[in-house]
Chains A and B, each alone.
Chain A
Amino acid sequence: MIHYAIRRLLESLALLMLITLATFVLISSAPGGPSILIDPNMTPEDTERLRAIYGLDRPVWEQYLRWLGQVLQGNLGVSLGVGRPVGELIADALPATLLLSGASLLVAVAVAIPLGIVAAVRRNSWIDRVLTTVSFFGLSLPVFWYGLMLIILFAVLLRWLPAGGMFTPGQGSVIDVALHLILPVIALSTSLMAELVRYTRSAMIGVLRQDYVRTARAKGVAERAVIIRHAFRTALIPVVTLLGLLVPRLIGGAAVTETVFTWPGMGRLAVSAAYNQDYPTIMGITLVVSVTVIISNLIVDLLYAKLDPRVRYG
């Protein structure tokens, strides 16, 4: 198990290098260039001077090596758009994203897993059909539209909730943040819920058909215990895989939701960095998200052993 983990870690480092190199080459070859060099008030002479000051006139491989050297010293560089250290920008954005995505995941899991079990157990009943249909809708709702509708209804027309931001300037009490959290959490958890309901349902249906479940029932185990202790534990394996895949998505931030609701998280930081072709920030976010993906995949793999005794690592 330890050997396995170490080997996976080493492979991951190589993978990380590849990801960052590919990202760097891709963004450097995108047409345009950083926004700070495209200000219409700047003359071409000023643009050239700034390009040299920021080292953007160097060959791409040299810029990459310079970036890599910085990163190895724990320095992610300075944003070309907002002029602040990238490490600070990410440190500021990460808690906001964790709050939003954590709350959404919690809501989604708390609602979707029980619903998925109910849908599986009462398969083909009216409740199953309603759940399946509703979750289908949830999956298909585009967040940029759905989020805007939530804002128009609850913020513009009813004025019950704020239209955007994480807190009211100058306030920021727990209640204030909670009020700002409601709409984005609804928007973000809807599709998560839909995905989880469908996943849990199909995993449970598969397991409920298995011989050992029939055996448990035949032995007279209470139905509740059959479902929770025998079936659900096995059904959790694919659900945990899905959650493992969702975590990096949540850390990377929900770009659309965060943009629509002006949530100061990683997703919006990434959108604005991409829009401004702010190379250091794009690279910093790529690095953080890649590391998260790799680590959470590793954790999921290791968790399998806990959930499924048949899985062994060599």
Chain B
Amino acid sequence: MRRLAATCAALACLAPVTLPAQEQTSGGTFSLPINDDPQIWPVAGGLYNILVNKAVYSALVRYDLETLEPVGDLAESWEVSDDGMTYTFTLRDGVTWHDGEPFNADDVVYTINDVWTNPDVPFYLANNFRLIEEATKVDDLTVEVKLSQPQPSLPVLLGYNAMILPEHLLGDLSPQEMVNPSEFLQNPIGTGPFEFAEYSPGSYVQLEANEDYFDGAPYLDAMTFRVVPDANAQLSMLQSGEIDLVVIEPFQLESVEGNSAIQIQSVPITRHEFIALNNDVGALSDPAVRRALTMGLDREQLLQAIFAGRGQVATGPFPPTMGWAHDETIEPLPFDPDAAAALLDEAGWVMGNDGVRAKDGERLSFTMLYDPSNPTRARTALVAQQQWGQLGVEVDFETSEYRAIVTRIRQDPPDYETNPNYLITPPDPDGVANFYLSDSLANSWQYENPEIDRLLNEGATARDRAERAELYKQVQQIMHEDQPNVFTVYPDEIQALSTAVERFPEAGYRDALAWSHLISKQ
């Protein structure tokens, strides 16, 4: 299922990106760009910060590279009580912090009780752990986590940017000091495969291999995260051999394909692209109209033309990377303009003389809000405008800056009609549920279906995986009928790697960096 398309430009002879461990080369420095100065502080978000944190710190759990299932990181194993309300984590023995102090249950208890669930600490993912009541130390290597209700997605969420922090260094800090613990951040201490070595503000963060890493010493000697905000500059530095990896947008493929110094690795990630529809806006509240919009949009063409064919056509909000929860039996609605037109006719939207449908004097016309600086989204908007125009649906554009768009979409009530959008979520349907529950503030599409609410809530607490899978399959089938949004594509992440790279773990780079000890260069 996990499709590894390692196309090395025209050169099929280049080393395959996956190699058995014993054949990997040791040594070298791996460089990758980040957009801004990282704080190297897991309490704060920001991709530039998260990526470095993955190499410096460890979580309790990380995702298996093949299946994306949660597997132990600092936790060796875990058990759930019969009522699903208590998780007992057995920690790895012999793990040390980068300063040589032993890691133990105190660190985990501290991180959960005093950081994640402390409302005064600005931990950006606190909502993921809102059901945790308390963590307690059973012994040095055992931690018990009590929940206020069963949360089978907990292990997945524990692997989602939730890094364990050193109690012996941070335990005395007040919540205010946790905003910016400047002394600790001079030399951040984690348990990850790489140790902090040097920080040159505005330029780079250099990490050195942690020879004592619990999962085996890294192949590399060092990793460098270079601060390169400009996308063109990132590509130039990849081409000049100054960095080893750039995650590119599909439209950038053209400029690197055929370059003998670059190999491309495409990996499926937990991301779905869609055109968000504000279900509260006139015609868009009618599922028949929403279905017609999906059927009137050639998503296969979108995939080929805009996503360079890397990915697959979407059927709902749970991508195939969610494995057990993804319903493979659902076929995407066909691209069928005639059937779409018939649906609109049936719903009472009659073609007018101006080529735009109308019903009771109201024209079938809405605005699409998008960020023109993002070519992927801008092109999606153009294709939709053109294809829906042929259906007799008028689309006017409104452009704005990314953050302003996010704010408008997220405000209550949302201030938009349609918008090309995407979500990257944890690989568990419960990580998506928040976006589709009727009373959730994150449900910017204003989609309301009591049956979906029931299924999502039951799926969030059901303890048996088969039972959860069944519930989530029903969710996908209902949404397939309802089309709350126009689901378009599950795009791959496209990694442009220097040919000097022997192996970059085959997963989205957010997840792969939790395995950065496996990266190697020739």
Contact = CB atoms under 8 A, between A and B. Distances in A.
Interface of A: 30-33, 35-36, 38-47, 49-50, 53-54, 78, 81-85, 88-89, 92-93, 96, 148, 151-152, 155-156, 159, 162-167, 169-170, 172, 259-262, 264-265, 268-269, 271-272, 275-277
Contact of B233 (A41, A78, A159, A260): A260
Contact of A39 (B124, B198, B241): B124
Contact of A82 (B37, B242, B410, B412): B37
Nearest to B43: A83
Nearest to A78: B180
Given A169-B200, A169-B224, 8 more contacts: A31-B401, A38-B406, A54-B179, A83-B44, A151-B240, A165-B237, A268-B202, A271-B229
A259 B179 contact: no
A81 B401 contact: no
B301 to A, nearest CB: 27
A245 to B, nearest CB: 26
B164 to A, nearest CB: 18
Contacts of A265: 202
Contacts of B423: 40
B441 interface: yes
Contact of B125 (A41, A82, A151, A269): A41
A163 B403 contact: no
B200 A164 contact: no
Interface residues of B, number: 61
Contacts of A152: 236
B353 interface: no
Contact of A43 (B31, B228, B232, B441): B441
Contact of B122 (A41, A43, A53, A170): A53
A222 to B, nearest CB: 51
A31 B125 contact: no
B227 interface: yes
Contact of A44 (B204, B242, B404, B442): B442
Given A46-B124, A169-B204, A31 B237 contact: no
Given A31-B404, A40-B423, A53 B46 contact: no
A78 B400 CA distance: 28
B424 A31 contact: no
A225 to B, nearest CB: 48
A139 B200 CA distance: 34
B37 A84 contact: yes
B46 A35 contact: yes
Contacts of A264: 200-203, 227
Contact of A262 (B120, B206, B230): B230
B45 interface: yes
A282 to B, nearest CB: 14
B219 to A, nearest CB: 19
A155 B44 CA distance: 35
Contact of B203 (A31, A33, A45, A169): A169
Interface in B406-453: 406-408, 410, 412, 423-424, 434, 441-442
B127 interface: yes
B357 interface: no
A148 B239 CA distance: 13
A271 B441 CA distance: 31
28 contacts: A31-B400, A31-B401, A39-B46, A39-B124, A40-B423, A45-B441, A47-B410, A81-B37, A82-B37, A82-B38, A83-B185, A84-B39, A84-B180, A85-B182, A92-B202, A156-B240, A163-B233, A163-B242, A164-B237, A165-B203, A166-B202, A167-B203, A169-B198, A169-B200, A260-B233, A262-B230, A264-B227, A272-B229
Given A155-B236, A162-B242, A260-B230, A89 B203 contact: no
A85 B241 CA distance: 33
A42 B233 contact: no
B205 to A, nearest CB: 9
Nearest to B40: A83
A38 B200 CA distance: 27
A169 B236 contact: no
B161 interface: yes
A81 B201 CA distance: 13
A159 B236 CA distance: 11
Contact of B46 (A43, A81, A271): A81
Interface string B165-186: 0000000000000011010010
B119 interface: yes
A41 B424 CA distance: 8
Given A93-B202, A164-B233, A169-B226, A276 B124 contact: no
B227 A83 contact: no
